[in-house]
């Protein structure tokens, strides 16, 4: 199954954050989304996941097509996400955090779905810990666990390795690969760490000023003069 974005435009008052983005995402594929600060990466995840309604454009997945969708409807379609800044419910336990997400989707057995998600991130002995008392790295992992409980077609992750050390970042890379393998979902990964992107992505898409300026294999994109000029530097 494919998830397609067609001619997506997002304007905020004076700012055009997305300026006609076309993208086709496939299940089983890990796609890196990179570009300078303010190039529209987070905004793209926001419109794809129903946080914002785009100014123009539409989406298609399987036989469904829409131009406007709520965060919950998108989640029920299996389009799931994490946030650039961690957004956990502070006083919930690990298990409760993931169970609530799975109840919110209203599909299947929420306890079983929560357990599957926690197992994928090796949360075993942490399940009764309070979310806000976890280390920063574990909180980042919990965000991912919450995003994969229940129906999962496409997982959108916004800078999951921000603030993590090398070993913790490597763990996140392995987690994403494991989720893709176990669940067969497509993944869109935004990350500033190019080593992470180059290691894990099948395909990389580069945004600059709200437009796609390059896409291809990690090697193709890394040597594209347009990408070097706009993002990578000399
Ligand atoms: N909610 C918002 N209101 C107004 N402007 C926004 C909002 N979200 C993003 N923008 C603007 O849209 C542009 C793209 O931002 P963003 O998608 O966060 O970029 P990136 O994630 O690539 O750093 C920036 O100019 C940003 O200031
Ligand atoms: Mg961002």
Q: Domain of 65: which CATH number?
A: 3.40.50.300
Among the bound ligands, name the one nearest to the CA of residue 10.
1
In a domain, 12, yes or no: yes
Distance CA 30, CA 33 (A): 10
Distance CA 159, CA 144 (A): 11
Task: Give 125 Cα–ligand 1 centroid separation in angstroms.
Answer: 38
Average pLDDT over residues 54-83: 96
In a domain, 186, yes or no: yes
pLDDT for 107: 66
Please list all protein residues whose beta carbon sits less than 5 angstroms from ligand 2, which is an ion: 41-42, 84
In a domain, 219, yes or no: yes
In a domain, 22, yes or no: yes
| Residue to mutate, 32, 38, 160, ligand 1, most ligand atoms under 8 Å from C-beta | 38
Tell me: the pLDDT tens digits for 179-227? 999 999 999 999 999 999 999 999 999 999 999 999 999 999 999 999 9
pLDDT for 110: 86
Q: Which domain holds residue 173?
A: 2-85+152-232
In a domain, 145, yes or no: no
* Residue 174 Cα distances to 136, 159, 202, angstroms: 18, 15, 14
Residue 38, ligand 1, Cβ within 6 A: yes
In a domain, 169, yes or no: yes
Average pLDDT over residues 111-134: 92
Q: Give the chain's domain count.
A: 1
Reported pTM? 0.96
Tell me: the pLDDT tens digits for 139-165? 999 999 999 999 999 999 999 999 999
At 10, which helix (H) or strand (E)? strand 2-12
In a domain, 197, yes or no: yes
| Residue to mutate, 8, 9, 10, 12, ligand 1, most ligand atoms under 8 Å from C-beta | 12
* Residue 31 Cα distances to 28, 68, 101, angstroms: 10, 23, 24
Residue 42, ligand 1, Cβ within 6 A: yes
In a domain, 128, yes or no: no
Answer whether 4's CB lies under 8 Å from 64's CB.
Answer: no
Task: Give 222 Cα–ligand 2 centroid separation in angstroms.
Answer: 20
């Amino acid at each position: 199954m494919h998830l397609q974005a067609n001619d997506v435009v997002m304007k905020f008052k004076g700012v055009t954050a997305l300026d006609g983005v076309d993208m086709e995402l496939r299940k089983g594929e890990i796609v890196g989304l990179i570009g300078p600060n303010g190039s529209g990466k987070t905004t793209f995840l926001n419109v794809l996941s129903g946080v914002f309604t785009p100014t123009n454009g539409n989406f298609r997945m399987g036989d469904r097509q829409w131009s406007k969708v709520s965060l919950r409807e998108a989640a029920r379609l299996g389009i799931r996400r994490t946030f650039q800044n961690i957004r956990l419910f502070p006083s919930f336990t690990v298990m409760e955090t993931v169970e609530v997400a799975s109840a919110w989707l209203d599909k299947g057995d929420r306890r079983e779905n929560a357990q599957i998600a926690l197992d994928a991130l090796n949360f075993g002995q942490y399940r009764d810990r309070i979310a806000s008392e976890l280390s920063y790295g574990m909180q980042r992992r919990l965000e991912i666990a919450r995003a994969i409980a229940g129906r999962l077609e496409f997982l959108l992750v916004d800078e999951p390795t921000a603030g993590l050390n090398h070993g913790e970042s490597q763990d996140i890379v392995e987690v994403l690969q494991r989720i893709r393998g176990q669940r067969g979902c497509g993944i869109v990964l935004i990350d500033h760490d190019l080593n992470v992107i180059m290691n894990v992505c099948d395909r990389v898409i580069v945004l600059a000023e709200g437009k796609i300026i390059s896409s291809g294999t990690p090697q193709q994109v890394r040597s594209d003069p347009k990408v070097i000029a706009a993002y990578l530097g000399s």
